[in-house]
Structure 1
Amino acid sequence: MPQQSRIAVIGAGLGGAAAAALLLKAGFNVRVYEQAPSFSRLGAGIHVGPNVMKIMRRIGIEDAMNREGSHPDYWYSRHWQTGDVMAKIPLGDHAIKEYGASYLTVHRGDFHALLMEALPSSAVSFGKQLTKVDDRGDVVRLEFADGSTEEADLVVGADGVNSCIREALLGVEPPKYAGYLAHRAVFPTPPVKPGMLPFDACVKWWSEDQHMMTYFVTSKQDEIYYVTGVPANQWNLNDRWLPSSKDEMRELYKGWHPTVQALIENTKEVTKWSLLERDPLPLWSQGRLVLLGDACHPMKPHMAQGAAMAIEDAAMLVRCLEEVGVSDHRLAFELYEANRAERASKVQRISHDNTWLRTNEDPAWCFGYDVFNVPLVEPATAAL
């Protein structure tokens, strides 16, 4: 029976929280170990496409998500200087009709809070920084920085780009700096003044080598977010994020459209983050350990699908465990990788190239995906 096997999820980010919620729904015995001392509302926005909303439906928070977020009718791509429309991708009612669920943008912290609320508090342990993992064949022993130890039958590594579980499987290897910085800011929506365009609910401003993505993060559209992509040749990987400033933003976006300038001038606080990647891994699991999300395939945020891939991973992993049974976890893990590697690698590649929706294209392959109903590919015949 599922509940007899102890499953440890390392990391309570969006992918880990989704994995735990789905495992609990399926009747598994789950515990999440998170290194942070408590949950906090981190200042960033996030896209939640229909491919993710179908999973939120299964978890039971789709309606709450729809109430929380902003529902753009279109994804616009605009020229950095003129504001001319380069692409106009229908979302809104079109997404519901064509892809089976809504497309929304929301504050990442509000999304994360809803996922965490879907978990009983007894299933989450905070302040648990994993320092060592030992797969002993019949059980996995976990050691934490606070001196405590735990045992589990299966361990899901949802612990991000510097995953301790990934290191246990493949050794220590730093991620690759992707050559870009992302500046992020959330603040009250500014007034529209002469010379500006009205704020699109979802728009990406493009120049040849950099961009700014901006969208509302609340249903009232009273809070707006931007995230940039700015080339920077060198970066110290020890600095995952640093404070930035209005002056730095003014310099980087000199000459851009007045609408972009208004966002910069109304910025309250802005940070800059290094964008990290990894080459596709030779394996996603070994023994009783399995990876998902950034632990497995970190990517640039240029498709706005990084968290979506982690959440899809979580749903497919649970589907495969239900399909095969935890008694044959190796086969379940092989089935999981066979049904995730090709899609995750495609999203990783397009995110790297930063071409997504720059011109009019059909995003149905991405947004219309249904992790619960897509036909499963057997491991032996999986596309490489």
Structure 2
Amino acid sequence: MSSISVAICGAGLSGLCLAHSLLRAGFNVQVYERDLAPHIRRQGYRITIDEYGIAALQRSLPPHLFKLFLATTSPIEEASYFRVTNKDLGEIFRLTFKGDPSGINLRTPRQIDRQTLRTIMLEGLQDRVHFGKEALRAETESDGATLHFSDGSYIHASLVVGADGVNSVLRKQFLPDYEPDDIDNWGIYGRTLLVQDEGLLVPRALKASGVFAMGPSNRGFFFTTMRFQEAPQTAFARFEVNQIPPITDDYVMWGLVLPKEQFPEYQEKLSSEMLQRVAQENIQNFHPILQRLVKRADVDYTMAVKFRAARKPTTWSVSRITFMGDAVHVMPPTGSHGGNTALRDAALLAEKLEAAMIQSESLEKAIGSYQEEMSKYAFREVEASKTMMKRFTVKNPLMRWAMLRAVPWIRSITNKPLTTE
């Protein structure tokens, strides 16, 4: 398989996952990333890895890196919750998830810091990930594709994989009619240390919960904790990896959701300080706990995010260039399926390519099979995440009154308040 060269455009989660899987199978794989360094740009915080994401990582990573991934996830509780509340943390409804504290059941979802996972996945690929390589275009040929970069260089590979995110230049070139749509809501993300002044910044009752607080004017505020089962610096040393953990302290991830018409003009040019001020201004009428999370945030970690949703290609020709992750099926964060679907893509594409080589089949057959299968599950997740976002930002006045006032009042009669210790 070493005669088959694969060029991956993008060193995000899916790109690195695919690189590990193909490298272990004997392919000649190289990764090209436009960023100048691994942690030069904020790319999100805590993410949920579900059974598909876990299976993809287990299949793709060397065993010691998969164990390191498990060691740096959050502790699994007997039960965890996702709560939807009004702005005063009055509960509207609650989803309960049974956990496996032993961690043995790998179908049980778990939380991890995105930057930490990416750092783990960079281990072993130091000589194969090339930073500062911004792709401009690609050209397909009978025996592969040529990838051109902004510095004037180019490479030829048997297969080029576009894993370069929502703004993929390769998707714009090869799927120009399927640019993702802006949806009605955008967000501001932030990070706040969980322990401050020798105490937890959120009540213990919410330590194992994700909370989405619905506010006035279709605003919403989400938060959840990222607690490390084992301190990353300890785990990295124990597994003798060469990477340095980018995050060492437990924290609260939060996000403010705003209708895009309420978002500041020129939001992409706003500094972290300005974004944090915007967030503070928009949650002045929310519960003090939520205001405190924004006020005490690590300002440098505040960033703006446009929520977008992919459109499914009705025709997708098979060539020596294919796509995975946000480059082809970006989705809103509701449901936590974006990252998992991208990891699932990587495992599936690796599986198809390996099978094709073993069975002496063409790369085109493997790519066509991958695109057909991936499209079915990926765009199902896109639609599900769009539907959930609409439910969280319902505009019907009567429905919002019932959800934000009547239901929390009824539930408060029998339920213990969320804000108690």
User: What TM-score, normalized by structure 2, do the two folds share?
Assistant: 0.76
Partner of 2:368: 334
Range with greater deviation from structure 2 (9-18 or 279-288): 279-288
Residues 318-363 of structure 1: per-residue CA shift (max 9 Å, x gap): 11112233741121112112222121111101111226998xxxxx
Query: 1:46 corresponds to which letter in structure 2?
Result: I
1:67 aligns with 2:71: yes
Partner of 2:58: 57
Partner of 2:401: none
Cα distance in structure 2, aligned partners of 1:303 and 1:241? 28
Cα distance in structure 2, aligned partners of 1:266 and 1:14? 29
Residues 345 and 238 of structure 1, relative CA distance in 2, 3 Å threshold: farther
The structure in which a higher percent of residues are helix is 2
> Does the CA contact (< 8 Å) of 2:8 and 2:30 recur in 1?
yes
Partner of 1:213: 222
- CA-based RMSD: 3.0
Cα distance in structure 2, aligned partners of 1:231 and 1:13? 28
Partner of 1:109: 115
Deviation at 1:285, TM superposition (A): 5.3
Range with greater deviation from structure 2 (26-35 or 256-265): 256-265
1:224 aligns with 2:256: no
1:317 aligns with 2:317: no
Cα distance in structure 2, aligned partners of 1:236 and 1:210? 14
Partner of 1:142: 147
Query: 2:332 corresponds to which letter in structure 1?
Result: K
Residues 32-74 of structure 1: per-residue CA shift (max 9 Å, x gap): 1111112117362222223212222221333212221213531
> Does the CA contact (< 8 Å) of 2:37 and 2:131 recur in 1?
yes
Cα distance in structure 1, aligned partners of 2:141 and 2:149? 17
> Does the CA contact (< 8 Å) of 2:75 and 2:227 recur in 1?
no
> Does the CA contact (< 8 Å) of 2:188 and 2:275 recur in 1?
no
1:281 aligns with 2:313: yes
Deviation at 1:131, TM superposition (A): 1.2
Cα distance in structure 1, aligned partners of 2:211 and 2:269? 22
Cα distance in structure 2, aligned partners of 1:237 and 1:245? 12
Residues 218-268 of structure 1: per-residue CA shift (max 9 Å, x gap): 316732211232222377998557434444223322332332222122223
Residues 166 and 347 of structure 1, relative CA distance in 2, 3 Å threshold: same
Percent identity over the alignment is 23
Match of 2:134 among 129, 154, 161: 129
> Does the CA contact (< 8 Å) of 2:84 and 2:214 recur in 1?
no
Cα distance in structure 2, aligned partners of 1:249 and 1:178? 20
SS of the equivalent of 1:286 reads coil
1:165 aligns with 2:170: yes
Cα distance in structure 1, aligned partners of 2:328 and 2:356? 22
Query: 1:103 corresponds to which letter in structure 2?
Result: P
Cα distance in structure 2, aligned partners of 1:307 and 1:205? 20
SS of the equivalent of 1:204 reads strand
Residues 98-152 of structure 1: per-residue CA shift (max 9 Å, x gap): x6344222221111101111x3322111111111211022231111111111110
Structure 2 stretches lacking a partner, 5+ long: 230-248, 393-421
Query: 1:53 corresponds to which letter in structure 2?
Result: I
Partner of 2:94: 87
1:351 aligns with 2:385: yes
Residues 139 and 323 of structure 1, relative CA distance in 2, 3 Å threshold: closer
Match of 1:259 among 289, 299, 319: 289
Cα distance in structure 1, aligned partners of 2:130 and 2:202? 51
Deviation at 1:217, TM superposition (A): 2.4
Cα distance in structure 2, aligned partners of 1:267 and 1:20? 35
SS of the equivalent of 1:76 reads strand
> Does the CA contact (< 8 Å) of 1:284 and 1:296 recur in 2?
no
Range with greater deviation from structure 2 (231-240 or 49-58): 231-240
SS of the equivalent of 1:121 reads coil
Cα distance in structure 1, aligned partners of 2:19 and 2:347? 10
User: What TM-score, normalized by structure 1, do the two folds share?
Assistant: 0.83
SS of the equivalent of 2:369 reads helix
1:308 aligns with 2:313: no
Residues 283-315 of structure 1: per-residue CA shift (max 9 Å, x gap): 455311111011111111111111111110111
SS of the equivalent of 1:160 reads coil
SS of the equivalent of 1:281 reads coil
1:5 aligns with 2:39: no
> Does the CA contact (< 8 Å) of 1:281 and 1:297 recur in 2?
no
SS of the equivalent of 2:334 reads coil
Residues 95 and 339 of structure 1, relative CA distance in 2, 3 Å threshold: farther
Residues 125 and 105 of structure 1, relative CA distance in 2, 3 Å threshold: same
Range with greater deviation from structure 2 (322-331 or 340-349): 322-331
Query: 2:373 corresponds to which letter in structure 1?
Result: N
Match of 2:211 among 182, 185, 204: 204
Query: 2:168 corresponds to which letter in structure 1?
Result: S
> Does the CA contact (< 8 Å) of 2:51 and 2:109 recur in 1?
yes
Deviation at 1:14, TM superposition (A): 0.8
Residues 88 and 170 of structure 1, relative CA distance in 2, 3 Å threshold: closer
Cα distance in structure 1, aligned partners of 2:49 and 2:169? 27
